[in-house]
Amino acid sequence: MRGKARFRRTDFTLIIQECGPQALPIITLISFLVGLILAFVGAVQLLQFGAQIYVANLVGLGMAREMGAMMTAIIMAGRTGAAFAAQLGTMRVNQEIDALTTMGFSPMEFLVLPRMLALMLMMPLLCLYSDLLGLLGGWFVGVTMLDLGAVQYLKQTQEAISVMDFSVGLIKSVVFGVLVAIAGCLRGMQCGNSSSAVGLAATSAVVTGIIFIVVSDSLLTVLYDVLGI
Amino acid sequence: MSESDAHITIQDLTMAYGDFVIQRDLNFTIGRGDIFIIMGGSGCGKSTLLRHMIGLKRPARGDVLYEGESFWHADQAMREKMMRRFGVTFQSGALWSSMTLAENVALTLGEFTDLSQKEIREVVSLKLALVGLAGFEDFYPNEISGGMQKRAALARAMALDPDILFFDEPSAGLDPISSRLLDDLILELRDSLGATVIIVTHELASIFAIGNNSVYLDPEAKTMIASGHPKVLLEECTNPTVQNFLRRGETKVSVA
């Protein structure tokens, strides 16, 4: 057995494409709207004190530390996790996985590893993109509805969030990426021997993925709190 | 077939899913160069027996010996080395659908040989030509017919020039002519590769045409109830179940 990575580079490129660039449109829409919603929720309360400028803090911190990573992960669980489960499940039904095994390829290395690596690489990028789009959504509400200055809002955001806040979210997103890949691949590999089983595998990949995300998010948030970051 | 020629030995093999026993106490030998048929009614565990032989399912009890060496008591690395001598075609073909035919055949060559890219391409074209698929290198499995998929799967199984070829229902879903051509191809390959061939099937025409040794698995008795050359079984086996199977339920038929 040689030490080289035992999956095909073309497969990897294809998976990267699937779970990176192709997810951008939906991430754009959802993140912008989440930023918008955060701004609205905050504005209703903060307006009572005339402190609407702090909407920038709320949206900035909310997106960077929490919502960017969380929303990206949930979108990817529904999009990519389900796709992974369906792909592997179909391969299981068609005996393609048996064929790999008998020909001396480990399905873990050949199928699961590239998918996990792809998500680990792409999630932080998507998360950063989502953070920025969320900030844009908040800025849009601030400028058009709360009569805040465009530059003033940005300055306030800049003061409110640090690189640390972004990294907190990015680290989360890597963890979520691994979990979404695990959920998708696990359910795909466990798939039964019929076409309806593939549907079930896809469904349970999404459910498992979302549970993993929310539970690990709570744990991470507590951990961050203990570490004081 | 003399004892020294035994290529594969099935020893006290019991197959079970959990507590549910499918077949118990299977004992038979497969000689080198045999075309060995595993036959029996639907659901008797033919394909499961194949899965035990190719390393996909661990036996509940017993062992499979290849050239006298234990397969299931060997360690993982040893078992993988033995598996490298197998070529397997699955019931549905099981070509990797995301790869072209050439990539399907080339995958093991790239991984387990030191051939250059150019040599690999040549071997791939040769193997595909051997099964009558020259010129189909860049087709994807879903772009060709079921019969062609089976032949492509055979080309993939032969990539590393295996000692032992396993077929799971090779003629399922093929028309009589294609199925006949596949039989001829299997015979040809056995002669040119000198391989031992194991076929799971219940296609009587194929069984009599190419089989020279066989075992009959009975779902009721949950074990093998006959073994030997299929034509000899047809003439001499007194077991009514086997006779029924080999004569498609008719008791008196002259065999061509």
Which among A14, A102, A105 has CB closest to B88?
A102
Q: Does residue A213 have a pLDDT over 60?
A: yes
Which one, of B25, B5, B6, lies nearest residue B14 by Cα?
B25
Instruction: Please answer yes or no on whether B92 and A94 come within 8 Å at the CB atom.
Output: yes
CB pairs under 8 A between A and B: 49
Residue-averaged pLDDT of chain A: 93
Instruction: Please answer yes or no on whether A102 and B84 come within 8 Å at the CB atom.
Output: no
CB B165 within 8 A of CB B196: yes
Q: Does residue A5 have a pLDDT over 60?
A: no
pLDDT top residue among A58 and B6: A58
Nearest-Cα distance to chain A for B135, in Å, is: 22
pLDDT at A1: 39
Which among B95, B96, B112 has CB closest to A104?
B112
Over the stretch A20-36, which tens digit does the pLDDT of each residue have?
Answer: 999 999 999 999 999 99
Over the stretch A136-186, which tens digit does the pLDDT of each residue have?
Answer: 999 999 999 999 999 999 999 999 999 999 999 999 999 999 999 999 999
Find the DSSP H helices in chain B. 46-53, 76-83, 101-112, 117-130, 146-157, 176-193, 204-210, 230-236, 240-246
Task: Give bridge partners of residue B69 from the DSSP assignment.
Answer: B66
Whole-number Å distance between alpha carbons of A131 and A30? 11
pLDDT at B256: 43
Per-position pLDDT tens, chain B of length 256: 444 478 999 999 999 988 899 998 999 999 998 999 999 888 888 989 999 999 899 999 999 999 888 999 999 888 888 888 899 999 888 999 989 999 999 999 988 889 999 999 999 999 999 888 999 999 999 999 888 898 899 999 999 889 999 999 888 878 888 888 889 988 988 888 889 999 999 888 889 999 999 999 998 888 898 899 999 988 888 888 888 888 888 765 444 4
Over the stretch A72-118, which tens digit does the pLDDT of each residue have?
Answer: 999 999 999 999 999 999 999 999 999 999 988 889 999 999 999 99
CB B76 within 8 A of CB B250: no
Instruction: Please answer yes or no on whether A102 and B108 come within 8 Å at the CB atom.
Output: no
Mutation target for A interface from B81, B89, B95, B96: give the one with most A CBs within 10 A: B96
Which among A14, A90, A102 has CB closest to B86?
A102
Whole-number Å distance between alpha carbons of A206 and A184? 7
DSSP label at B142? G
- The model's pTM is 0.86
Closest-CA residue of A relative to B53 is A102
pLDDT at A172: 96
Instruction: Please answer yes or no on whether A103 and B80 come within 8 Å at the CB atom.
Output: no
Instruction: Please answer yes or no on whether B107 and A104 come within 8 Å at the CB atom.
Output: no
Complex ipTM value: 0.85
pLDDT at B49: 92
Whole-number Å distance between alpha carbons of B252 and B51? 35
Whole-number Å distance between alpha carbons of A209 and A182? 8
pLDDT at B3: 45
pLDDT at B1: 44
